[in-house]
Amino acid sequence: MSEIREFKTESKRLLELMINSIYTNKEIFLRELISNASDAIDKHHYLSLTNDKLNHVDDYQIFIEANKELRTLSIIDNGIGMTYDELINNLGTIAKSGSLDFMKDINEKSEQEKLDIIGQFGVGFYSAYMVASKVVVKTKSSFEEKGYIFSSNGTESYEITEAEGLKFGTEVTLYLRENVENENYDKYLDEYELRSLVKKYSDYIRYPIKMEVTHENPKLDSDGKPIKDEYEETTEIETLNSMTPIWKKKKNEVTDEELNEFYKQKYYDYQDPLATIFVNVEGALNYTALVYIPKKAPYDLYYDKYEKGLQLYSKGVFIMEKCKDLVPDYLRFIKGLVDSNDLSLNISREILQQTHQLEKIATNVEKKIVSRLEKMLKDERELYVDFFKNYGLNLKYGVYDKYGLKKELLQNLLLYKTVNKEEMVTLKEYVEGFVEGQENIYFASGKTKEAIMSLPQMDLIKKQGYDVLMLTDDIDEFVFGIMQEYDGKKFKSINQGDLDLLSKEEKEKIDNLATDKKTLLEKLKEILKDEVSDVVFSKRLTDSPVCLVSADGMSFEMEKVMAAMPNAKDAKADRILEINPHHKLFETIENLYNDNNVELEDYAYLLYSQALLIEGFPLKDPVEFSNKMCELMIKGAKY
């Protein structure tokens, strides 16, 4: 049986892109293929522990074979192999389903964006085409009787043929490209080159990577003594890698560069990680954790399909790819692994979820990550700001999640823009910057400093010289809602509830005035009864005539966020119209009221509409608003 199949369109495009523009560093193809071979052996090993169908294997290995006459290079493993379906699914499709959307308009993206996207794919196998014009894969799965040969030049289609007599495992053979002026592909047949590539990229692979190597030895005479200047060649099979997994080495034995290299290879990133957390814990519980924070958040981080998790090893043996329980949701962006001697190897995945040890490891790892971030914030501010730009939203979510269970742990990691400062500040820094008399933490939702500074609600705050935290993410107000206070200081929205900006006497004055003008306020409330729940004299305005605020509880910002959510419930913030009794406009209102003038209704309506506009709410009836405005302008016009 033999058949020819077309590559999927996305695969073709991705392939083209990759070969032509992405990796200038062609030599990495070898580490990709070796890494696939190693994964395949891992899978075989793990399954053989739990599945009787698979034989126990003692001599797992990856073999590299270079043939100078044919100009081929083969990577041979005795791992799990691929069934017919797997062959098609795994090698016939490069772009994984989640990435297809991103591929759609790839041609319109900049080179950097392409790199970003592609850097996050597992394009491993296809990197072979950077150096090969044809690749042949012979494979036999341990679960299927038949073996198969896949062959393709990596452009339009691939061919699959049935094959008899294959041993289980996979053999990938590269037919190297013709040498060209600035690219000598022959070097990938060279023993020395291959040896150094393995050392450089794949030294830690836990299975022996073997190759036949040639030694030149002095020729011996009949007495067994070396003959001068005469040599003979002998060949032997040599293991090229040291096989110690990098995380099994002592911390002082590994360089940052090696850790970075390991990360890039294992987690398909072309950039070094933003931070590495490498811990080796010995004591009641023994484990090693090697955790990375990628520089850029994975493109699909906020998609439902995104799977968080760390790889789990037990005594150096791979157990599972994404152990969810090791990673709290808010750290879902981390990559890495945990290896523990205290977990049983035969543990099934279901049981695993409940083991006490695992829970403990997870808590410890979380603490280590948080303290690494705290240290970064303290010692490497710039890097931390970078981190926060990428992942701040996750931390905020962490504070909010589970009714604020983690707020103590995470609150000091939050950064905010403020209206007075150029740089972002922590809550601690904000509180340390309190001006005399300031007791609360003030915040405002808004996209720009200018927009916030021009709000009427800022009148008094500006005069007092208080700084105000600028909230830009949807989740921000909910986070403060959960936290309620920080360091004993209350969070106060500039347009919500009571702001406490005035002295006791000043407050009393306004309260007394309100008692005096009670009937007027009630009249206004009566006019606007369908729109607002109260009309009061403001304790936050000095220059502006009115503003709209919300009662404690649900804020306007929350209302907007909730309304934008799928299955939005009709949640409304309580609207309160605040009037500045010291503004000239109030005199007019008062006169109208005293004269029993019906125009009071129009004035009240216009005042309220203005307040709505300032808050960024739509007007119920813009035409009516405009008509009333016109009337008033005509009446008031002096010319």
Non-local (6+) Cβ contacts of 294 within 8 A are 267, 269, 271, 273, 274, 333, 335
CA torsion through residues 38, 264, 295, 129, sign: negative
Using alpha carbons only, what angle is made at residue 401 by residues 570 and 444, rounded to the nearest 5 degrees? Answer: 60
Listing DSSP states for 273-323 in one string gives: -SEEEEEEE-SSS-EEEEEEE-SS--TTTTSTT----EEEEETTEEEEEEE
Single out the residue of 14, 17, 22, 37 in contact with ligand ADP (rule: CB under 6 A): 37
Single out the residue of 12, 48, 88, 90 in contact with ligand ADP (rule: CB under 6 A): 90
- Please, what is the minimum distance in Å from the beta carbon of residue 249 to ligand ADP? 24
Q: Which is nearer to ligand ADP, 87 or 275 (CB)?
A: 87
Query: In the stretch 439-458, what mask flags binding to ligand ADP with x, by CB under 6 A?
Result: --------------------
Q: Which of residues 126-165 bind ligand ADP (CB under 6 A)?
A: 126
Q: Which is nearer to ligand ADP, 124 or 245 (CB)?
A: 124
Query: In the stretch 41-80, what mask flags binding to ligand ADP with x, by CB under 6 A?
Result: ------------------------------------x-xx
Q: Which stretch binds ligand ADP (CB under 6 A): 117-125, 215-223, 526-534, 616-624?
A: 117-125
99 lies in the binding site for ligand ADP (CB under 6 A): no
CB 369 within 8 Å of CB 290: no
Q: Which is nearer to ligand ADP, 40 or 501 (CB)?
A: 40
Q: Which is nearer to ligand ADP, 31 or 396 (CB)?
A: 31
Single out the residue of 27, 57, 92, 122 in contact with ligand ADP (rule: CB under 6 A): 122
Q: Which is nearer to ligand ADP, 91 or 275 (CB)?
A: 91
- Please, what is the minimum distance in Å from the beta carbon of residue 549 to ligand ADP? 54
Q: Which is nearer to ligand ADP, 321 or 534 (CB)?
A: 321
**Structure token pair of residue 171:** 């053999």
82 lies in the binding site for ligand ADP (CB under 6 A): yes
Q: Which is nearer to ligand ADP, 90 or 239 (CB)?
A: 90
40 lies in the binding site for ligand ADP (CB under 6 A): yes
The rounded radius of gyration (Å) of the Cα atoms in the chain is 34
Query: In the stretch 7-36, what mask flags binding to ligand ADP with x, by CB under 6 A?
Result: -------------------------x---x
125 lies in the binding site for ligand ADP (CB under 6 A): yes
170 lies in the binding site for ligand ADP (CB under 6 A): yes
State the SS3 of 207-232.
CCEEEEEEEEEEEECCCCCEEEEEEE
Non-local (6+) Cβ contacts of 205 within 8 A are 34, 35, 38, 62, 241, 243
- Please, what is the minimum distance in Å from the beta carbon of residue 86 to ligand ADP? 6
- Please, what is the minimum distance in Å from the beta carbon of residue 44 to ligand ADP? 9
Q: Which is nearer to ligand ADP, 154 or 398 (CB)?
A: 154
Q: Which is nearer to ligand ADP, 92 or 497 (CB)?
A: 92
- Please, what is the minimum distance in Å from the beta carbon of residue 190 to ligand ADP? 23
392 lies in the binding site for ligand ADP (CB under 6 A): no
Listing DSSP states for 483-546 in one string gives: H-EETTEEEEETTBS----S-HHHHHHHHHHHHHTHHHHHHHHHHTTTT-SEEEE-SS-SSSSE
Paired residues of 339 in beta bridges: 288, 313
Q: Which of residues 573-592 bind ligand ADP (CB under 6 A)?
A: none
AA letter at 326: L
Q: Which stretch binds ligand ADP (CB under 6 A): 121-129, 396-404, 484-492, 588-596?
A: 121-129
C-alpha distances in angstroms, 285 versus 351, 361, 419, 551?
18, 8, 48, 51
497 lies in the binding site for ligand ADP (CB under 6 A): no
- Please, what is the minimum distance in Å from the beta carbon of residue 6 to ligand ADP? 18
**CA dihedral of 191, 196, 201, 207, whole degrees rounded to 10:** 60
CB 543 within 8 Å of CB 529: no
Paired residues of 3 in beta bridges: 160
- Please, what is the minimum distance in Å from the beta carbon of residue 396 to ligand ADP? 32
438 lies in the binding site for ligand ADP (CB under 6 A): no
- Please, what is the minimum distance in Å from the beta carbon of residue 33 to ligand ADP? 7
Q: What is the enclosing helix (H) or strand (E) of 5?
A: strand 2-6
Q: Which of 539, 537, 545 is nearest to 500 (CA)?
A: 539
Q: Which of 253, 254, 273 is nearest to 263 (CA)?
A: 273
In this chain, which residue has its C-beta nearest to ligand ADP? 122
- Please, what is the minimum distance in Å from the beta carbon of residue 93 to ligand ADP? 9
Q: Which of 622, 620, 629, 627 is nearest to 530 (CA)?
A: 620
- Please, what is the minimum distance in Å from the beta carbon of residue 292 to ligand ADP? 17
> Which one-letter DSSP state was computed for residue 333?
T
AA letter at 520: L
Phi-psi category of residue 542: left, alpha or beta, with phi > 0 → left and psi -120 to 50 → alpha = alpha
Chain residues binding ligand ADP by CB under 6 A are 32, 36-37, 40, 77, 79-82, 90-91, 122, 124-126, 170
